[in-house]
């Protein structure tokens, strides 16, 4: 058995890109014996785990990579593979696509409890499934969630330009200095447009031409392989979810009318709420709520966004210069800022951050009329290289990780 797994391992790891590492690589506590890496499909989880393999082991007899959906893994069983490999002398096991393995929670628990001192690294794309098992494994595993590429990471991977990550306070109070440095080294507005339509998922490196179709494939796999299975959703109702995505993509700052959605989709309001929750947990949409307390399902989102601008571009066909610009800008701001700060809907303006800062997002000619007289209020403006005062270039918020 091990001979077959070793052969699969060697064919998988040999072409691992090693030069560029994601933001999360240096933030993780790799010393933990059991780590679970989650994240949307295509953001680079497998590559990151294989980079760790090369950096710390680089020997199949010390660390073995397997994919949980491989026929050998399914036929033999993860616990049996772990048992034979660790008894053989292996020190670590990397299990990819764990969410595709039946009863994965039980097998992982048994592996961790049985083989003390051995390292187990697992990854999975279905956040719905992994979140369901997190309660059972939270005492045994350290969980990390990997996001898609930030604009800063895109520049490093695509253009080889490395800039430091910025804290929100750095952007608010030193944005002119940082913008001057960045715009002095790259054609930042041109690169930013490319990122908005084709730079969130690392697989743009493989083919920029095929990139939009690959993004659409990500959506299809999430709906039919993750949401349908984990949420026990019938294929006919997956069509309703696609309509929800189409509506969000076609409307700037989509404010959901649950009653209207229920009628148009032909499903109950309860199912509308459930489907929105499934789509959000699967990493396809993001719900923006007003400040307040209460059970999430009983609260209507103030706005709904696609998780990132590349999903928006793929569903709409393209991001034309004058087409859905408002939706693009707000989706980008929400996606990048919510990665490290608390973002809610603002009573005046577009977003409230950490309950004490207000942001209005717009084009270069946007004025401050809507946020006039509001303390700690800022304009995040597209199509400007360098700002002044409370006018901040929108692209700078892509340097937060």
Per residue in 12-29, pLDDT (tens digit) is 999 999 999 999 999 999
Same domain? For 168 and 262 the reply is: yes
**Which tokens in the block code for residue 3?**
């001979």
pLDDT score of 138 more than 80: no
**Which tokens in the block code for residue 127?**
């956040």
DSSP alpha helices (H): ranges in 138-187?
151-158, 168-183
CA distance 314 to 323: 13
**CB of 140 within 8 A of CB of 109?**
yes
Residue 35 backbone phi and psi in degrees, to 5: -130, 135
Helix 78-88 × helix 104-114 angle, to 10°: 20
Q: Residue 206 — pLDDT band, cuts 50, 70, 90?
A: very high
Same domain? For 273 and 377 the reply is: yes
pLDDT in tens, 240-259: 999 999 999 988 778 999 99
Task: Average the pLDDT over each of 21-30, 157-166, 258-267 and give the range with the smallest value.
Answer: 258-267
Same domain? For 216 and 354 the reply is: yes
Same domain? For 53 and 77 the reply is: yes
**Domain end: 89, 121, 146, which one?**
146
CA distance 399 to 167: 8
pTM above 0.85, yes or no: yes
**Domain end: 115, 146, 177, which one?**
146
Same domain? For 29 and 122 the reply is: yes
Q: Residue 131 — pLDDT band, cuts 50, 70, 90?
A: low
Q: What pLDDT shows up at residue 324?
A: 72
**CB of 353 within 8 A of CB of 342?**
yes
Q: What is the mean pLDDT of the chain?
A: 91
Residue 386 backbone phi and psi in degrees, to 5: -135, 135
**CB of 4 within 8 A of CB of 37?**
no
Q: Residue 297 — pLDDT band, cuts 50, 70, 90?
A: very low
The CATH number of the domain where 111 resides is what? 3.40.50.300
Q: Residue 2 — pLDDT band, cuts 50, 70, 90?
A: very high
Same domain? For 193 and 49 the reply is: no
Same domain? For 162 and 303 the reply is: yes
Same domain? For 96 and 53 the reply is: yes
Q: Count up the domains in the chain and report the number.
A: 2
**Which tokens in the block code for residue 110?**
């048994």
Q: What pLDDT shows up at residue 174?
A: 97
Same domain? For 212 and 265 the reply is: yes
Same domain? For 123 and 233 the reply is: no
User: Hey, what long-range contacts does 84-87 have (CB within 8 A, 24 or more apart)?
Assistant: 84/1, 84/2, 85/2, 85/5, 86/115, 86/118
CA distance 376 to 97: 44
User: Rounded mean pLDDT of 68-74?
Assistant: 91
Distance of CA 275 to the CA centre of its chain: 19
User: Rounded mean pLDDT of 111-122?
Assistant: 97
pLDDT score of 31 more than 50: yes
pLDDT in tens, 353-368: 999 999 999 999 999 8
**Domain end: 146, 176, 203, which one?**
146
Domain coverage including residue 199: 153-399
pLDDT score of 230 more than 80: no
**Which tokens in the block code for residue 4?**
């077959």
Same domain? For 380 and 322 the reply is: yes
DSSP 126-145: -HHHHHHHHHHHTTT-EEEE
pLDDT score of 128 more than 50: yes
10: left (phi over 0), alpha (psi -120 to 50) or beta: alpha
CA distance 173 to 175: 6
For strands 119-124 and 92-96, give the pairing. parallel
Could you tell me which of 198, 179, 196, 153 has the C-alpha nearest to residue 384? 179
User: Rounded mean pLDDT of 193-200?
Assistant: 97
Same domain? For 379 and 269 the reply is: yes
Q: 185: number of CA atoms within 13 Å, CB side?
A: 12
């Amino acid at each position: 058995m091990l001979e077959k797994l070793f052969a699969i391992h060697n064919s998988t790891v040999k072409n691992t890109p090693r030069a560029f590492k994601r933001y999360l690589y240096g933030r993780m506590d790799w010393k933990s014996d059991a780590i679970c890496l989650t994240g949307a499909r295509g953001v680079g989880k497998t590559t990151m785990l294989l980079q760790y393999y090369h950096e710390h082991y680089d020997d199949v007899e010390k660390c073995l990579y397997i994919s949980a959906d491989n026929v050998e893994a399914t036929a033999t069983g993860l616990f049996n593979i772990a048992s034979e490999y660790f008894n053989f002398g292996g020190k670590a096991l990397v299990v990819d696509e764990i969410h595709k393995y039946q009863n994965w929670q039980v097998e992982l628990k048994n592996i961790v409890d049985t083989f003390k001192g051995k390292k187990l690294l697992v990854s999975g794309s279905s956040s719905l499934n992994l979140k369901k098992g997190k309660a059972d494994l939270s005492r045994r595993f350290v969980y990390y969630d990997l996001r898609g590429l930030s604009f800063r990471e895109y520049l490093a991977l695509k253009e080889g330009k490395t800039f430091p990550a910025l804290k929100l306070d750095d952007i608010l109070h030193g944005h002119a200095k940082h913008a001057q440095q960045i715009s002095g080294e790259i054609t930042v507005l041109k690169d930013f447009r490319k990122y908005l339509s084709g730079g969130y998922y690392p697989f743009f490196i493989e083919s920029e031409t095929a990139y939009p179709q690959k993004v659409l494939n990500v959506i299809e796999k999430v709906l039919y392989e993750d949401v349908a299975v984990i949420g026990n959703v019938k294929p006919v109702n997956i069509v309703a979810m696609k309509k929800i995505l189409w509506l969000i993509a076609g409307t700037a700052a989509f404010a959901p009318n649950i009653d209207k959605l229920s009628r148009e989709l032909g499903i109950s309001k309860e199912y509308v709420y459930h489907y929105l929750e499934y789509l959000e947990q699967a990493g396809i949409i993001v719900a923006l709520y007003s400040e307040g307390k209460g059970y999430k399902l009983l609260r209507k989102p103030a706005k709904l966004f696609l998780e990132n601008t590349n999903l928006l571009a793929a569903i709409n066909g393209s991001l034309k210069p004058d087409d859905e610009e408002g939706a693009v800008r707000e989706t980008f701001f929400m996606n990048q800022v919510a990665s490290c700060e608390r973002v809610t809907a603002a009573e005046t303006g577009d977003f409230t951050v950490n309950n004490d800062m207000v942001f209005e997002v717009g084009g270069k000619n946007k004025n401050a009329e809507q946020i006039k007289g509001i303390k700690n209020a800022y304009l995040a403006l597209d199509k400007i290289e360098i700002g002044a005062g409370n006018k901040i270039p929108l692209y700078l918020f892509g340097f937060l990780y």
